[in-house]
Structure 1
Amino acid sequence: MLSIPEIATQIIDKTHTNVNENNSRTIFLVGSKSGGKTTLLYTFLEKNDPPRETLVVEYSFGRKSNQKQGIDKTLCHIWEYGGKLETLTNVLQATPVRGKFFYCIMVDLCKIKNIWETLETCTQAMNDVYSTAESSPELIIICGKYDLFKNFDSEIKKTVCTSIRSVALLKRAHLLFYSSKEPPLLRRARDLLFNVAFGGGVPIREKNTNYTKPLFIPKDSDTWESIGVAPSTIEQVKSRYMTRIAPSTVTSVPSSADGAQLLAHPEPSVDALLALKYSELNNMESLDIHSDYLSSLNK
């Protein structure tokens, strides 16, 4: 049975030709469960519906006319992954990429015991899939729920910020702190996605490295001296973080042929929704991707 990304790839490949980074972009959004991925995406796409739980992999798209550059429109393909991070590599391998590619990791700042696992698993999956590719995706780390995180103990905030900045420096990632509850931060995150999807990439006119305020650090603009630690490897950064903030205890799950599926989707309600989504994707008449959109890709 084909996966959702594989089915979508077949559909898009039949109609999608002559694309490049000027008229097509791809955003892959992944990270902490319930970390605010869908809320940010709905804001960017100007959807008024209440955000719903992501069904493993969800596809959306945005389109913008761009007559000034002689291009009819720019299309942005957006993949949001809400499944278990352990299966992320398989999903990435099957996800179609069109034009310039941005890989966005959403981190829940309130779940400090899970932050390192999220960063490590998501960056490792990206490296595993794209290390031998002709071009790697541009990495963006978006840290959500800052409205709650800002009230944490000062030393905890310093440790978290120092560690995330170190990862961003080592991985050459853009770094942004965000909250859906604070309009200026929500607007900044939405503008960032808009520029990624339809503009020239991540804007660099703003920058903040003070951990007592929401961070915004474009890639290649930070230094070890500014972070306040000696140049480090990723393992050294991990060791410092784990020493100060112990990770959450992970409960093992039995492995078997059926266990692999259970590991990815342990809730019966999610299993039912997944079956429905597969059914929809296999029925061209009920696809969420409208036929007028698919036909427009050849124009």
Structure 2
Amino acid sequence: MPRASETLWELAQAAAERGGDAEGAADKALLFLGSKAGGKSTIILRCLDREEIPKPTLALEYTFGRRAKGHNTPKDIAHFWELGGGTSLLELIRIPITSDNIRTFAIVLVLDLSKPNELWPTMESLLQVTRNHLNKLITKLGKTNPKVATEIREKMWNNIQKDHPDYELIDPFPIPLVIIGSKYDIFHEFDSETRKIICKTLRFVSHYYGASLVFTGKPDTLLLKARILINHLAFGFDRSKSVSVDQNKPLFIPAGLDSLSQIGPPPASDSDIGKLYAHTPLDLWKKVYEKTFPPMRNSDLKDSKDPALDPQYAEYEIDAMRTQKNQELEQYKRNASKSWKEMELES
């Protein structure tokens, strides 16, 4: 029974810290991260059948959903976390996922297809930081609870059959991963060659990490396939085994149902590929992709908007005090400037 004084944030933190029993019967949880203004909030609301108008996510936000798998059955609860700010708030990833609940979590990475130059650096930054955090948790569990650590490492390969031709060539993500390409309605207007490069690259990355891949956009009917994947991870509904790899249509490829032979080589000539120095297949695809879509600088990817100026967080007394302090600061700067000028004249 929660205390009357507990806030929603405290309850959310408690939910994140709860682990499951030995059979993994705990509530499932998903962490949504990805491109700034890429549509994460919209996807969450639509998957939970909420018709609210999404608001910009300030930092790390929490909500939950309930689903019943059949009539007269108890509803399962799933926890939905969303990281705002694109790649500017990476350190917050460690808050919802802990060693106590890592077995219940999945990652949903939302990438804005309408901004190809931001796609790779956004994806790389978020997946690297998330994977590093997960690996640290698994290493810690290896010392305190080796059985659970072994279970997590084994589950990484659940979607890849041992007889899959690429079994030795891929590097599955530590926990389930879904990659969503958003704003397909804009992406669909790109020229054929641009779509081909982006589609092949995302297919390779998803397959390499043992992830599912799906494209979404307007109208909301394009969200149906994404809902299938999310409901599977959050509530245990059946996972679709249909596949769509046509670059002229929204991609839909559940984890383990693609292959390197179907994806083909990186979209570049043999001579160009031969000139590229890469340590791994992933690095080679990165260099080929960035040759066509030079990455944005990290500073360009960060959110420059001041949340204190956002009207949805307005607080009259706090804002009035902030305005007063800003005025005092400006006056201090003017006085300091005069003092320095006087010192220069005297010298």
TM-score, with structure 1 as normaliser: 0.76
Quote the offset at 1:173 in angstroms. 0.8
Q: Give yes or no for the alignment of 1:155 onto 2:193.
A: yes
Which residue is 2:95 aligned to? 94
**5+ residue gaps in structure 2?**
1-6, 139-148, 153-173, 267-279, 317-347
Q: Give yes or no for the alignment of 1:108 onto 2:112.
A: yes
Whichever residue aligns with residue 285 of structure 2, its letter is: V
Structure 2 residue corresponding to 1:141, chosen from 179, 194, 204: 179
Paired with 2:115 and 2:251, the residues of 1 have a C-alpha distance of 17
Distance 1:72 1:250, change over 3 A: closer
Distance 1:178 1:109, change over 3 A: same
Which residue is 1:212 aligned to? 248
Distance 1:13 1:138, change over 3 A: closer
TM-score, with structure 2 as normaliser: 0.66
After superposition, the CA RMSD in angstroms is: 3.3
Which residue is 1:25 aligned to? 28
Q: Which has the higher contact order (CA 8 A, sep 6+)?
A: 1
**Structure 1 segments of 4+ aligned residues over 2 angstroms from their partners:** 4-14, 16-23, 64-68, 70-73, 96-100, 248-253, 262-276
* Contact persistence 2:206–2:213 (CA under 8 A): yes
**5+ residue gaps in structure 1?**
254-261, 277-299
Paired with 1:126 and 1:11, the residues of 2 have a C-alpha distance of 21
Alignment of 1:273-292 (within 5 A): 273=313
Paired with 1:236 and 1:56, the residues of 2 have a C-alpha distance of 33
Between Structure 1 and Structure 2, the one with more strand by share is 1
Paired with 1:275 and 1:27, the residues of 2 have a C-alpha distance of 31
* Contact persistence 1:22–1:74 (CA under 8 A): no
Paired with 1:8 and 1:275, the residues of 2 have a C-alpha distance of 24
Paired with 1:137 and 1:234, the residues of 2 have a C-alpha distance of 19
SS at match of 2:110: strand
* Greater C-alpha Rg: 2
Paired with 1:174 and 1:274, the residues of 2 have a C-alpha distance of 39
Q: Give yes or no for the alignment of 1:46 onto 2:46.
A: no
Corresponding pairs, count: 260
Q: Give yes or no for the alignment of 1:234 onto 2:282.
A: yes
Q: Give yes or no for the alignment of 1:122 onto 2:111.
A: no
SS at match of 2:64: strand
Q: Once structures 1 and 2 are overlaid, which stretch shifts more, 263-272 or 57-66? A: 263-272
Whichever residue aligns with residue 106 of structure 1, its letter is: V
Alignment of 1:78-89 (within 5 A): 78-88=80-90
Whichever residue aligns with residue 27 of structure 2, its letter is: S
Output one character per residue of 1:28-68: Cα deviation in whole Å (capped at 9) or x when no partner: 00001111111111111122221111121110001234578
